[in-house]
Structure 1
């Protein structure tokens, strides 16, 4: 049975971490042994038998690299019999430095269409060297693949990219009734970071006035203070909730009438699939990665990113024409079912065996 060792900074956080945990749990059912190494576990997430944490305080620097190197040696990596699979920035760089010691196939998954490294074109030659250390590159969407190929501008590296779309859990479907008051309950889920564009959504919510009963943003991150200040500036204290991080968002999605995904960029849009699986209609940014998930779905409306005025218009339309409609709920669930976890795991199992 092939062995795959995933390396990712933590067991919780976003789509990359969730993907690793799902693969580690489910791949053995497809004939592929899987383990996961996390640099740290700050929230004390309960780990399974195949998962372990290095107990680091920081993911940066040579100290983290040395600890990771030791952990791989303890697992017998180096005889070429296993696949080592990196996720996110620090594992990408640390494992690239261990290329000769690992010996066997190395894989990196690209989880986003954008990162800060790509804001500096002088960094491109360094990235090419790093990515060449990997035998194959996985993109979680066609938009992510196109963005990575466009950044590297290297035919050999582009040929190494394979697209394996993310899969999501299917949450219980609920039927939402039209709101008697005409005011909708809106929800967004994601890290409180500039990428997610929640500041844009707050300005749109402020302009919608009584058309919105409540707006809940489920997540945590460095932008909390800035968002809280914006809520006060817009006079939305009684309408906006910021409950923090929640691993199980089903209850929040079930009590909402409309989802809002105002991201400035997205690699895929796992939150979109989860929301759609409950029958929730969405207004989402028209950006690569996310567009491939929700475009041409009767339950979704796309909107230009970073445009609060246009977001306001499309939220208003969605509240009037999508909320509480039976055909919308069915269309949402049908779209979500294109992106199941089982299909994703089967693709990865086939991919690992090909290596």
Structure 2
């Protein structure tokens, strides 16, 4: 399933972006500062975010303030759909959707997916109506209704014609009855899906395949020193609201192949062994892609430090992310490296 078009409206400073086409390989969005580039991308990320809860629509914060009072008098703002996207289905996805709907879809091709302010996800069949009509008219010709079917302009009009003719057919004409019933069902279903969207198994099938949007910005970049105790405690809470940089830190640890117990181990040798293994894993993964300087290796250092004072003081385990420059034989904290390298390193960790 490939994103082909996106549109954002009534979201922060965007009243209506109009349809924005997305290229098959890379799409770059250019614009002046404060023109809405970030706003557009964040709205798109809320459609189906990679991390549950990382992006969600907030009516109070996201609806254009200067329109709120006026628009609220005319409609239910929670039902407003600020983001729509159009997805192209491949042959396998079209076949699976046809199976879930229980009827042969005539080259459905595209789906429109939207997210309302109240969180509800809407999925509509984006049908090429001319192709649908041509398929139905061709089917009608098999039972001698080609000329009459060709005068109809909408699938629902054809459904009415097929229903009328079906009521006139003798029951012993089983072949004609089956053809007409299948044509009527297809016309009715396509008409209904185009106006009211998918439900049930068909909707679930689409949602399972729907691409997730991964939004990454400078606020998602890793810190050079991570409070592991605080991070793991927070991550274990039910419905924990993690900051973007905290999600990246957890992704970094998963990429290194470690769990929360290993870096917190009190035994020195065990902890050092895990740190070195994780550092080697990270070096191999990151420098598969970073070619500007091959003489850098990741180094992880763990230490403990007190947090708080007096009776409330606790000992937390910290992880320092350092880079070892083999050429100059020095190590520097991750935050001392160039912004470009820090962004790239964090991005690789986050998407891995």
TM over 0.5: no
Band of TM-score, shorter chain: under 0.3
TM-score by length of 2: 0.28
Higher-Rg structure is: 2
Task: Report 1 or 2 for greater relative contact order, CA contacts < 8 Å, sequence distance ≥ 6.
Answer: 1
